[in-house]
Chain A
Amino acid sequence: ETGVTQSPTHLIKTRGQQVTLRCSSQSGHNTVSWYQQALGQGPQFIFQYYREEENGRGNFPPRFSGLQFPNYSSELNVNALELDDSALYLCASGVSGTSPAYEQYFGPGTRLTVT
């Protein structure tokens, strides 16, 4: 058991709306990353937060934003939802500085459906 939890499990939103997804990282982990996994695809990196600041971003527009809090929780916010945003959103936490094999521990994901 990884200790990474996400909420809600499932969510249905309408195009144009805004959504906030939440993640509770494993205690002691100082990084949190968010991934988007479309049906039948591998996870795609959205961004990573380290010590409450964005520390790397994938090819996602600015309407995808995040926050990391000191209590090991974090949020992914998506504005102006589009149909293509329908996917499983995965949160992963880890400890930066562990060399050389940085490991990430994934939560079970939030399934977002945009109609």
Chain B
Amino acid sequence: GDSVTQMEGPVTLSEEAFLTINCTYTATGYPSLFWYVQYPGEGLQLLLKATKADDKGSNKGFEATYRKETTSFHLEKGSVQVSDSAVYFCALTKRNTGNQFYFGTGTSLTVIP
């Protein structure tokens, strides 16, 4: 079945460090890919998305490129801030599955000053 695998956390970085959170997926057909962020005590917020191969999603300095050849959608940011501390979820959906989202297990990021 369809699934998403994320790198295990937690991840701790110093402010201004480079961030990569790995995400790979298994899916038939043509999924859309997403990154969601969850701040403590809150629900999920859409961070960025990509709908087809080679698309690059970007938002708030974060980027991820849809790589069909490697079935990956790695999240990157060039310079993290303390305010980026949160849990990040990679997810996929396909229209023919009733728009069901499949989420990874999440990667906790802590940025220290």
Residues of A participating in the B interface, judged by any CB pair closer than 8 Å: 2, 4, 6, 31, 33, 35, 40-45, 48, 50, 55-56, 58, 90, 92, 94, 96, 99-109
Contact = CB atoms under 8 A, between A and B. Distances in A.
Interface string B79-113: 00000000001010101011111111110000000
B27 interface: no
Contacts of B49: 101, 103
Contacts, number: 76
Which residue, A42, A104, A105, has most C-beta atoms of chain B within 10 A? A42
A100 B106 contact: no
Given A90-B44, A107-B43, A108-B43, A102 B102 contact: no
Interface residues of B, number: 29
B51 A42 contact: no
B100 A45 contact: yes
A100 B100 contact: no
B46 A48 contact: no
A37 to B, nearest CB: 8
Contacts of B30: 100
A40 B106 CA distance: 8
Nearest to A50: B98
Nearest to A4: B43
B43 A90 contact: yes
B98 A108 contact: no
B79 to A, nearest CB: 27
Contact of A100 (B32, B43, B91): B32
B46 A102 contact: no
